[in-house]
Amino acid sequence: MDKPAESHTELRIETDPARIFVRAPLHEGGEISIDPGQAHHLGTVLRRRGGERLRVFNGADGEWQARIAAIGKHAAILELERLLRPQEPEPDLWLAFGALKRPAAEILFEKATELGASALLPLFTARTNVSRLNLSRLAAIAVEAAEQSERLTVPMIAPPQKLPDLLKMWPADRVLVVALERSGSLPPPPAATAQAGLLVGPEGGFDPAEKAMLARRPGTVFASLGKRVLRAETAAIVGLALLQTAGKQ
């Protein structure tokens, strides 16, 4: 005799669970509505149906199993069933970087999110060759990367600012590591739980006045990412990976 339809659904859930980021509070027995874009993706792209289950997270309340109570082309209602993973501490690692053109910017936002950056801070510097960023598109890429990589948070994304403004707001107790070719080796943060940040310049690098400004700031550390001169998005990825590895030692 064939298994009931619900058993087939359960098997699919275990092998291919959808996972989405939501902004609503999450608690047992709660009911949440998701936005039209998410509903379309869930029903049309992922082909999920009523009664099927998925995982949801909001960056604060852990990861939950939810059941699709109702779904249409532009709306869906989810019922929260049980906590799968409690919220856990994550690396507090900021990434500041010279603003990049779209393809490189999208790669940077995706990979920095996968690597666990807690904040993304784009900059306009003397040699930045773009005048604006599509932050809504880049934020959507960060959300998708967080969903795919199974992290429990989505990075904070700041509006673009100038380098002097960044340095004014940078906390005195947060290590600032500036990626700069031929400037020594990458040091570890003081401890695995330390607050730290990585600063990567634009494709043309920092100009002399900016380097002097950074050198005058107390606590700034200049560090090389290796023997080769890397593209800006590659330098950000490598620097984040090295900082996290150093922090675990």
Span 167-188, pLDDT tens digits: 999 999 898 999 987 666 655 5
The H or E element that residue 2 is part of is none
pTM of the shown model: 0.87
Tokens, residue 20: 């989405």
* Amino acid letter for position 188: P
pLDDT at res. 33 = 94
Q: Do 134 and 102 touch, CB atoms closer than 8 A?
A: yes
In this predicted model, what pLDDT tens digit does every residue of 28-49 receive, in sequence order? 999 999 989 899 889 888 889 9
Mean pLDDT of the chain: 87
Provide the 10 A C-beta neighbour count for residue 234.
17
Helix then strand then coil, in percent of the chain rounded to 5, is: 35, 25, 45
Sorted by where each begins, the domain ranges of the chain are 13-85, 93-248
pLDDT at res. 194 = 61
Domain 93-248 has CATH 3.60.15.10: no
pLDDT at res. 9 = 41
The H or E element that residue 186 is part of is none
Q: Collapse the DSSP code of 109 into the 3-class scheme (helix H, G, I; strand E, B; otherwise coil) and give the result.
A: helix
pLDDT at res. 187 = 52
Q: Would the CA dihedral through 43, 115, 15, 25 be positive or negative? A: negative
In this predicted model, what pLDDT tens digit does every residue of 187-201 receive, in sequence order? 554 444 468 899 999
Across 161-179, b (16+ Cβ under 10 Å) vs e yields eebeebbeebeeeebbbbb
pLDDT at res. 4 = 42
Rg (CA), the chain: 21
In this predicted model, what pLDDT tens digit does every residue of 65-123 receive, in sequence order? 999 999 988 899 999 999 999 999 988 999 999 999 999 999 999 999 999 999 999 99
In this predicted model, what pLDDT tens digit does every residue of 208-224 receive, in sequence order? 999 999 999 998 989 88
Provide the 10 A C-beta neighbour count for residue 29.
8
Domain 13-85 has CATH 2.40.240.20: yes
Decide whether 13-85 matches 93-248 in CATH topology.
Answer: no
* Parallel, antiparallel or unpaired: strands 53-57 and 63-71: antiparallel
SS3 labels along 77-98: EEEEEEEEECCCCCCCEEEEEE
